[in-house]
Amino acid sequence: MILYTPLAHNDIFPTEMDAYTGIESVSYKGRTVYAERMQDGSYQIQQLISSDPQDFLNSEFSPGRILN
């Protein structure tokens, strides 16, 4: 099988250590976000997963926002 892609080999086939980033899929206000768990137990939004363009204009889902 040949896979033509601009991605690096490690992006397609991550190793065990590279696969764990501490980022989890979290539901927040009915939307799915990828968020990193902080040491105090809160989450910091890393990425919004949505097919609605209006969600990306909502500041509540901005990357870097802390969820309590």
In a domain, 2, yes or no: no
Q: Residue 16 has what pLDDT? A: 62
CB 45 within 8 A of CB 65: yes
**Residue 32 domain boundaries:** 23-67
d(CA 25, CA 47): 9
In a domain, 4, yes or no: no
d(CA 63, CA 8): 25
pTM score over 0.75: no
pLDDT exceeds 90 at position 58 = yes
In a domain, 61, yes or no: yes
In a domain, 15, yes or no: no
More confident residue, 9 or 36: 36
Q: Residue 13 has what pLDDT? A: 79
In a domain, 44, yes or no: yes
Residue 43 has φ and ψ, to the nearest 5°, of: -120, 150
pLDDT per position as a tens digit, 13-50 = 777 654 556 788 999 999 999 999 988 989 999 999 99
Q: Residue 22 has what pLDDT? A: 79
